[in-house]
Each structure stands twice: as C-alpha cells, then as structure tokens.
Amino acid sequence: MLDTEVITKERSHSVTFPSKAFAARSATSGLGPFTIERRTPRAQDVQIEILFCGVCHSDLHQVRDEWNAVMPTVYPCVPGHEIVGRVVKVGSAVKRFKEGDIAGVGCMVDSCRKCPSCLAGEEQFCENFMTLTYNGEDKILGGVTYGGYSDSVVVDEAYVLRVPNGLDPAGAAPLLCAGITTYSPLRTWNVGKGQKVGIVGLGGLGHMGLKFAKAFGAHVALFTTSPKKTADAVRLGADEVIVSTDNAAMQKYSGSFDFILDAVSADHDLNAYLQLLKLDGTMTLVGAPSKPARVSAFNLIMKRRRLAGSAIGGIRETQEMLDFCGEKGITADIELIKIQQINQAYERLLKSDVKYRFVIDMASLR
C-alpha cells in the first residue's frame, strides 16, 4: 500500500490500455465478455500476457457474493488469482524479470510493506490488509482490482513470481493458490519423515496437499467420503485411504495422527478428525465452509490438541514453493477449458466434478 499523497499523484498521471476479460455483472448474471482498463507499466511494474488462469472455489463464492458478510463483491467482478503468463513489458526499475519470462501472480498484488507481518515476509497477513488480485481496492487506478480471467495484468515486480523452467505452465497456475495454501501449513508445522499425516478431501486443495505431504516424506492418509476416489488417491501418493463415513474405520485410527490438513469447504464435523490426533497433534483448516463449526472443547483439552488455520503464503514462501515444485516436477492435475465454458465449469465445481482443478486457456479470449 502506498502513502495517500503518492497514490493521489499516481492516479492523476495513470495511463491505461484496454484488456479483454470475462466479468460477472451481478451475483446471478454469470460471467460474460467485458473490457477492463489496465494501467500502463510504471518503473517498477511488470506487464504479463496471461496464458493460463486457474479456477479457484473462492472465485465462485466471490462472483456469487456468498462472502457478503466478510468480503462483499463489487461488480463488475473479474475473478482469477492463479495466473501464469509471459512477460511482455517491464518498467525501467525492474531487475528480476525480462520480456519473454514465464511469470506468475497469486492472490495478492500489493500490501502495506511496513507492518510487522509484511516485514517478516508474511504479506498475506498484512495488518493493513493485502491488496487482493481481484475485488480489492485498486490503489493506483481507483475502484477495484480485476483478476486473471483476462488477457493481461500489470503488477508491481515485488508481487510477481518466477515460474521455474520445465514446469508445465497450465499445471503450474493452480500452484499460485491451491499449491501455496497447502504447502504453507505443511511447512509451518514441519511435516516430514516419521510423521503420520492426514489429508481431508481430494479436491483442488486436497490433491495438492497429498502431493506435498508425500514429497516431504510423511506417511500420508487420505480421508474421503467417496470410496471411488481410492485408486486416484493412491496414484497421487496416498499410503492409506480412509472412508470418513465408516465409523468403525475412523475409530480404528483414533489418536494416531501427528498432523491433519483439512481441505474441505463444505460443512462437516471437525470433531471426527480431532479425535484422530495424537498428543500435541495439530489439525489445520485451509477449506472455508460458509457456516461456523461446532467444536467440542474436550477433543482439544484431553490430548493438548491444536486446531489452527492457514491462508496462502507470503511472496518469499510462494517462490520457495514454486522452486520446490520445479525441483520435484510437481504440478496440479488439471482440466483445461476455454473461457466460454466458465459458467458450466462453476456448476461442475459445485458438484466436485473436476479432477482436480479447472484451468482456463486464455488463448480462447483472444
């Protein structure tokens, strides 16, 4: 976030160019063609031709204004915060990128850079709130920010990520949200060899959590309500698959997990999983159900268990995650779609009918 005086000056001197996009005009309109204005690059800016953009479940929530109480949607809304593209222009002060580089943009495009969280490299917890990639306050042009369902984006170099050579750019796009959202808590709680780790849900987040936990050397169990997902879970690295609706199977694992990552956004019973943690075990939520969850105090008290939450990661950690994926060849399992299929993709997303992340080929917009 810039000082008010600087913001005012930059707004008065901003030059823009048109960019093709898909936008929602209301909570019920669906998405359709729209033209937005992007700022021409300042000295510190990178202009990116968007090649691929992942479809996050939060895009659907935001487009339909389902988070109104916390984060009301401003229309028109152009979603998309899993962006991978080609650098086409850089400002005179840019040092880390050049034209032709493959670069990424995640869930934020700025923060205050001054608070303790920002100074610690945890910009996602900015005490003055990060500038979201879309539906955030655009402190340069005014109005709101527009996301990756568009053909271009202009972002300050400090919030642009390097995508390692060799990573499939389409499969890398979901790493900018689903990837870092699951990587960060696994790193924060030091998941690794000798630990038994549970992943709840095999969706866009869960399948990435499963890949990372396995890559870190843990013994990994996948919890699912669907026995049909067993083969896929094993393919992705699960050592065990536990059907969470089978009470006898769940009781068998009581008190046996060091760490559980809950990646489910639908309403579900947290207590059933808390009971599976060992002494001092931790369960971390990265899914965001719309309703508050009921938690029994005794499920925490009796074994000094912890229930925690985690949100994406800072720029430094996100780059660390991308570099790790480059070394290990890790990308998301995706289904590539055209932008014209986005409304149908949202309906399928509601039914969990995707393995495991939709990614838009933005060439379909040009």
Residue 163 DSSP code: P
Question: Which pLDDT score is estimated for 56?
Answer: 94
Tens-place pLDDT, residues 96-124: 999 999 999 999 999 999 999 999 999 99
Question: Which pLDDT score is estimated for 67?
Answer: 85
Tokens 């059933």 belong to 272
Question: Which pLDDT score is estimated for 5?
Answer: 41
Buried b vs exposed e over 267-279: b needs ≥16 C-beta within 10 Å?
Answer: ebebebbbbbbbe
- Given a cut of 60, whether residue 336 has pLDDT beyond it is yes
Question: Which pLDDT score is estimated for 195?
Answer: 97
- Tokens standing for 353? 């009918």
Q: Where are the beta strands (DSSP E) in 194-319?
A: 196-200, 219-224, 240-243, 257-262, 277-285, 306-309
- Given a cut of 80, whether residue 1 has pLDDT beyond it is no
Alpha-carbon dihedral sign for residues 92, 97, 100, 105: negative
Tens-place pLDDT, residues 299-334: 999 999 999 999 999 999 999 999 999 999 999 999
Give the chain's domains with CATH numbers: 6-175+313-365 (3.90.180.10), 178-309 (3.40.50.720)
Buried b vs exposed e over 301-318: b needs ≥16 C-beta within 10 Å?
Answer: eebebebeebbbbbbebb
- Given a cut of 60, whether residue 9 has pLDDT beyond it is no
- Given a cut of 80, whether residue 290 has pLDDT beyond it is no
Mean residue pLDDT across the chain: 93
Tens-place pLDDT, residues 134-147: 999 999 999 999 99
Mean pLDDT, range 127-137, rounded to an integer: 95
Q: Poorest-confidence range of 70-84, 98-112, 288-302?
A: 288-302
Mean pLDDT, range 78-83, rounded to an integer: 98
Residues pairing with 153 in the sheet = 48
pTM over 0.85: yes
pLDDT band at 13 (very low <50, low <70, confident <90, very high): low
Mean pLDDT, range 192-217, rounded to an integer: 96
For 11, 41, 139, the CA distances from 4, given in Å and listed in that order, are 11, 20, 9
Tens-place pLDDT, residues 22-62: 999 999 999 999 999 999 999 999 999 999 999 998 999 99
Question: Which pLDDT score is estimated for 2?
Answer: 43
Question: Which pLDDT score is estimated for 182?
Answer: 97
- The Cα 82–Cα 170 span in angstroms is 10
The percentage of residues in the chain with a pLDDT greater than 70, rounded to a whole number, is: 96
Q: How many CB atoms lie within 10 A of CB 194?
A: 8
- H-assigned helices in 246-358: 247-252, 271-274, 297-301, 315-328, 342-350
Question: Which pLDDT score is estimated for 293?
Answer: 87
Torsion of CA 54, 157, 85, 16, to 10 degrees: 100
At 28, is the secondary structure helix, strand, or coil? coil
